[in-house]
């Protein structure tokens, strides 16, 4: 497996819409496994393909304490959502930046696995938050988009200062 480069905000590719996966072959499996290894190494609990410069509708997630329950989520579609939860979120594309974001507390998604088989997943709490966060990436949206313009500008200046 190989570690991939995680794009940092405000890289323009983070705003790119991911394309559906139609061929479920070894290249997709390898990408997913490399993404998982990259996410664990970062360390994080979720990573979208767009964050590693791949415009594919692919997420890897593992919210387990022991990092032993990876989820490979391809072509996710939101089926239902309910409730509301405020949570401090971070993102591997925004190192050491955290902000409160309001999301649905429970979600139901339809997705495909690495072989293309369809599944339904009902999630709540941290898993639901992570799924929504990563699905946003596939649509070119990042978590700071939920914040006020003032807070977004403050974060951008923080990141620019760190890059100097």
Query: What is the tens place of the pLDDT at every residue in 11-47?
Result: 999 999 999 999 999 999 999 999 999 999 999 999 9
Sheet holding 58-61, edge to edge: 46-48, 58-61, 71-82, 106-112, 118-124
Q: What is the dihedral of CA 157, 50, 111, 88, to 10 degrees?
A: -20
| pTM recorded for the entire structure | 0.95
Cα–Cα distance measured from residue 162 to residue 156, given in angstroms and rounded to the nearest whole number: 10
Provide CB contacts within 8 A for 94, sequence distance 6+.
Answer: 8, 9, 142, 143, 144, 155, 159
Strands 118-124 and 71-82 turn out to be: unpaired
pLDDT value at position 158? 85
| Among 89, 115, 134, 160, the one annotated catalytic | 134
- Catalytic (active site) residue 134: yes
How many other C-beta atoms are found inside a 10 Å radius of the C-beta of residue 139?
13
Q: Is 105 helix (H, G, I), strand (E, B) or coil?
A: coil
pLDDT in tens, 53-70: 999 999 999 999 999 999
What is residue 44's predicted lDDT score, i.e. its pLDDT? 97
Does domain 12-163 bear CATH number 3.90.45.10?
Answer: yes
């Amino acid at each position: 497996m190989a570690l991939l480069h995680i794009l940092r905000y405000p890289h323009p590719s983070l705003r790119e819409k991911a394309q559906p996966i139609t061929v479920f072959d070894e290249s997709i499996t390898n990408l997913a496994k490399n993404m998982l290894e990259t996410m664990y190494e970062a360390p994080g609990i979720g990573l979208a393909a767009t964050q590693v410069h791949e415009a594919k509708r692919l997420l890897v997630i593992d919210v387990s304490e022991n990092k032993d329950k990876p989820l490979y989520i391809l072509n996710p579609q939101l089926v239902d959502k309910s409730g509301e939860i405020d949570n401090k979120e971070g993102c591997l594309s925004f190192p050491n930046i955290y902000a409160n974001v309001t999301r649905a507390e429970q979600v139901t998604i339809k997705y495909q696995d690495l072989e293309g088989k369809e599944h339904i997943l009902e999630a709540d709490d941290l898993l639901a938050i992570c799924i929504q966060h990563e699905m946003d990436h596939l649509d070119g949206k990042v978590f700071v988009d939920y914040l006020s313009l003032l807070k977004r500008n403050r974060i951008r200046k923080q990141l620019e200062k760190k890059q100097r």
